[in-house]
Structure 1
Amino acid sequence: MSGLRYVYAVCRPFGTPLPAQLTGVAGVPPKQLAHGELVAVVGQVPEEDFAEEPLRAHLEDLDWLGATARAHQNVIDALTVVTSPLPLRLATVFLDDSGVRTMLQEREETFVRTLDRLEGRVEWGVKVYAEPPETAGRPEGSGGADARPAPAAGTAGSGRDYLRRRRNQRKESEERWQRAERFASRLHASLSGYAEDTRMHAPQNSALSGASGRNILNAAYLVPRTGSEAFVELVDRTKDDEPGLRVELTGPWAAYSFSGEDT
């Protein structure tokens, strides 16, 4: 095998074959590289794209980065069906098989310990979003049923009414966020009962994620495969418990949030 070695994940040896049509980064099917108790899942990639200098340039190219991330994830998803992989950071590259085996040997103890912890487990992601009713479905600054004109200048009664409405709106908004946060806290506590470990991620910025509403909860749960059905059912039962909130479930994934890898 010529070219550089792109490493997707480290696993225990597994006998179930990956799909014959599966391809990874650079359109190359992944292969298993065994070393002791471990297997690295690798692919061949061209030096002109993955040597240090061109790779640094490519990582600034969002289109290239997105395509590479999707190809990487396709391999991880296929592995998750047949085993419990420990996914490595995107674009983990070595010169040759010997470099990969050296990495496996140097980190063997850590890899074995982490794989033991992840065996038979998957990651589920749960997000909760809240959107104020007065902005839902309307562009910012547009009118609507709740829109009210500013009071006429010099009208004392209108000015007091306006200030009173503003205070009430602020109070209602605060109460909505408090209800949303209480709901998210209850949901997280319930879901944690089905999980062996959890990670609370920073709320997503809607301008970057493209998701509507304010992200109240962004959490990952390490769940035994045998308990995943009950976990999903619990999420489904709670989706409509609080009006104005949206609950999103993703997974099952390889346990990125619990791998200890810098992903």
Structure 2
Amino acid sequence: MTTKQPATPVSATSTYVFAVCRRLDPAALTDLAGLAEGFPVRGLRFGPLTAVVQHVPAAEFTEEAWQRRLSDRAALEHCARAHHEVVTAVAACGPTAPLALATLYRGDERAREALEADTDRFTAALDRIENHAEWGVKAYLPAAARTPSAPTAPAALLPGGGSAPGGAGRAYLERKRGLHQAREQHHDRALRTAEDIDAALTRLATATRRLRPHSLEMTGEKHRLQVLNATYLMPAERAKRLLDAVEDLRHRTGAEVEVSGPWAPYSFVGEV
């Protein structure tokens, strides 16, 4: 006999947590939709800190429901944008520690209890990121596909090819060796360029994170290769120096360097 689990009441709600901060102007939350219609985005005090939360319908925010969202790109993007919109509004009030997408608790008291247990970690993170912002930097070089295509082996070097003048074989091997060397040189240049750009920006930053560069298959681009994918925790007063440094690096390295930001420091709040 199968025992059915009781269904979640239609009126039941969970507490979704967007971020944690010290200072919150309630006016900053006005008109924010969050993730659920009919429920205001609000502050939830715990100890010396404030969590930015929203009630959401429990039946629509189960683990199974989130798994469905993860497989639905449009739904996932909608949630990510709504989450980011709230975090950005809160960050305008002061240092803000964004929480991961889909941070949910069964009610305010459960949320407060869990967050209070992490008060020291949140306090340390907020101390670290105060007057800082996150900047993303991606650098690109022309893809290796621009090197000459592989030469065709002469008949003498193919199975059953008979004999051919030695010069043809040597020429083929030289062309193949040259292609291999060109690819190695391109790889070495990509590594040097990435290290040069990262080293210059790291000198300005409080902290950095190097991410795995996206492959040509991931970016969908055929003509340029991503050689650097990194984020930098930058003091607010160094923002102009960062942009000036990027412009100089574009000229000095010949790379295409793309900058995004300033953002709330998503990548650096979990490192304390």
TM-score of the pair, normalised by structure 1: 0.84
Partner of 1:257: 267
Consecutive unaligned residues of structure 2, counting only runs of 5 or more, are: 1-10, 157-163
Which residue of structure 1 lines up, in the alignment, with residue 196 of structure 2?
Answer: 186
Aligned to 2:185: 175
In structure 1, what is the Cα distance between the partners aligned to 2:193 and 2:153?
37
Q: 2:19 aligns with which of 4, 9, 34?
A: 9
Instruction: Verify: 1:23 aligned to 2:29, yes or no.
Output: no
Q: Which has the larger radius of gyration?
A: 2
User: Do structure 1's residue 205 and structure 2's residue 215 form an aligned pair?
Assistant: yes
Match of 1:113 in 2: 124
Q: CA RMSD in A?
A: 2.5
Structure 1 spans left out of the alignment, 5+ residues: 137-145
Give the structure 2 partner of residue 153 of structure 1.
Answer: 155
Change (3 A) 1:66 1:209: farther
Please identify, of 224-233 and 198-207, the stretch whose mean Cα deviation from structure 2 is larger.
198-207
- After alignment, is 174-183 or 148-157 more displaced? 148-157
Q: Is the 8 A contact 1:49 1:58 kept in 2?
A: no
Q: Closer, same or farther in 2 for the Cα pair 1:58/1:149, shift >3 Å?
A: closer
- Cα distance change, pair 94–160 in 1 and its aligned pair in 2 (3 A): same
1:121 positional shift: 0.8
The answer as to 2:86 corresponding to 1:90 is no
Query: Could you list the per-position Cα deviations for residues 105-131 of structure 1 after superposition, in whole angstroms to 9, with x for gaps in the alignment?
Result: 111111111111111111111122233
Give the fraction of aligned pairs with identical amino acids, expressed as a percent.
Answer: 35
- Structure 1 residues 46 and 205, CA, compared in 2 at 3 Å: closer, same or farther? farther
Give 1:222's match in structure 2, choosing from 228, 233, 251.
233
Deviation at residue 148 of structure 1 after TM alignment: 7.6
Gap change, CA 1:190 and 1:149, over 3 Å in 2 = closer
Distance in 1, matches of 2:203 and 2:151, equals 49
Number of aligned residue pairs: give it: 251
Q: Per the alignment, in what secondary structure is the counterpart of residue 99 of structure 1?
A: helix
Which residue of the other structure, out of 106, 113, 122, is the alignment partner of 1:102? 113
